[in-house]
Amino acid sequence: MLPLVFAMGACQELEQDVLDGVTAEDIAKSTNPNLISVLKASAYARIVGSWGGHNSIWSIQEVSSDEMSIPQKGADWEDGGQWLRMHRHTWNPSEESFNNSWAYCYSAIGEINNLLVQYPNVPALNAELKVLRALVYLWLIDSFGNVPIIDENSTGSSPTNNTRAEVFAFIEKSIKDNVNALPKDGNKTTLNFYSAHAILAKLYLNAQVYTGTARWADAEAAADVIINSGKYSLSSNFFSNFSERNGGSTENILTLPYDENNAGGFNLPQMTLHYSSQATYNLQAQPWNGYASLEEFYNTFDNADARKKSFLVGPQFAADGTRLKDISAEAGDPDGQDLTFTPAINMLAPNAFRQAGVRVGKFEFASGAGPSLSNDYPLFRLGEIILTKAEAALRQGKTAAALAAANQIRTRAGMPAYTSLTLDELYNERGREMFAEASRRTDAIRFGKWGQPWWEKAASNATVRGIFPIPQNQLNANPKLKQNPGY
């Protein structure tokens, strides 16, 4: 039987035009690191892919949490009710965004497996690709739980589900078996020894959710490898980590290197800004007026917190200082036609005000930007790792270590240091630090907040809704797949 490297419907054969005439033996004997870079580029391109775009994996993480929503404005953003269901935790297996997220992940896995099959005797390449595949499986175990493990040795065309515990063990082993073969350089756009430990830290931090067994000490140890390495430091300017030219960030550990011309797909200004905001940034295309934060979440930020500038709020102006207008503003909008982003959203549906809701301003929107940004998207950065250290230490009763770590983040934000620390305070601190970085859903589940009611969402079943359903399209295509419990 042939290896299962084209499975799940989204995987495509690796294009090797750039390597015409170069054999696997040539590559195995080569000492030229550029050859390895060329080989793995296709796998990383799949990872960059649609992560930062609408209606895929970033969207389902954010809109299902209490930090973001997509209010329906009449027919605008009705979208078959998908985003209303996502916000209210009433989603179903047929949601397009679930299938897109699944395809995004398994397309990347398929590309990685293709490379591993074609070049089995290139140790440096193999080690990096197996850790990269583990990162994709981290997203799958977190989102869908019981997913098929497909590696370079898999055969057949219809894989069955593995249990969440089996996927956890696969991720852990993939990293631990290969981490020491990774470089200890400062590259942020490909994996190294430290970003591999960042994956481990996140895996262990959520081990109790994924397997039923806590691994707090292991999470702390993995975080310490990064913290104690001296390779990274907190940026004095929080927002420099998210600027258009953030490649020199001292804090970012692993990033997706988006480029509006050569690696598009990071569409945040389109997704969140009001139509008229095009004039604020001289954008090449009109925004879609969708994603907005919840007032309750916005109010968890103190006015003195530097990170509160992660939101666009209040009166809005064109680049030349002219007050922006929305001539189609609803008659009932108290702000009238003067474009003003208000924390309060009058309703989720069906007639949310066009300018209601604070917008995502954490990433720099460069003047004249196209529909895709050139900002590198941080998948892991030191700020998160320090908070991982704080949480893992606190859950082990190591209060002093937890305080010391959490206060590094507080001080950078211009906030007074904690003198004591509770899990609720740490949860809120993570929210303020990690807004719009696809962390809140996972945090809410781990901290036991997931089933609680929030604006326009009733209490939900945290056990069932703690993982998304296997997409219906995948079940239809593969009868051996079984749906997650409760769906």
In tens, the pLDDT along 262-316 reads 999 999 999 999 999 999 999 999 999 999 999 999 999 999 999 999 999 999 9
Q: Reduced to 3 states, what is the DSSP secondary structure of residue 66?
A: coil
pLDDT at 6: 39
Report which of 254, 204, 259 is spatially closest to residue 379, judged by C-alpha positions. 254
Mean pLDDT, residues 332-337 taken together: 96
Rounded distance between C-alpha atoms, residue 330 and residue 456, angstroms: 21
What tokens does 243 get?
A: 């600027």
Extract long-range pairs of 232-239: CB within 8 Å, 24+ residues apart.
232/194, 232/381, 232/382, 233/382, 234/382, 234/383, 234/386, 234/408, 234/409, 234/412, 236/412, 238/306, 238/307, 238/383, 238/412, 238/413, 239/309, 239/362, 239/364
Sequence spans of domains, the chain: 1-15+34-161+458-487, 182-266+375-450, 268-371
Domain 1-15+34-161+458-487 bears CATH identifier 3.40.50.720: no
For residue 50, pLDDT over 60 is answered with yes
CATH class of 182-266+375-450: mainly alpha
Say whether 182-266+375-450 and 1-15+34-161+458-487 share the same fold. yes
State how far the alpha carbon of 107 is from the alpha carbons of 160, 168, 357, 459, in Å.
17, 20, 35, 35
Residue matched to tokens 């036609």: 337
Extract long-range pairs of 169-174: CB within 8 Å, 24+ residues apart.
170/134, 170/137, 171/134, 171/137, 171/138, 171/141, 171/199, 171/203, 172/200, 172/203, 174/130, 174/131, 174/133, 174/134, 174/137
Q: What is the pLDDT of residues 312-333, one digit of tens each?
A: 999 999 999 999 999 999 999 9
Q: What is the pLDDT of residues 214-268, one digit of tens each?
A: 999 999 999 999 999 999 999 999 999 999 999 999 999 999 999 999 999 999 9
pLDDT at 26: 66
Residue 156: pLDDT band by 50, 70, 90 thresholds?
confident
Its pTM stands at 0.95
What tokens does 307 get?
A: 């990170």
Alpha carbon 41 to its chain's center: 20
Q: At what angle do helices 193-205 and 216-227 cross, to 10 degrees?
A: 150
Give me the half-sphere count of Cα atoms (radius 13 Å) on the Cβ side of residue 443. Answer: 27
Which one has a higher pLDDT value, 354 or 22? 354
CB 443 within 8 A of CB 434: yes
Buried b (16+ CB within 10 A) or exposed e, 236-257: eebbbbbbbebeebebbbbbbb
What tokens does 456 get?
A: 């326009």
DSSP 409: H
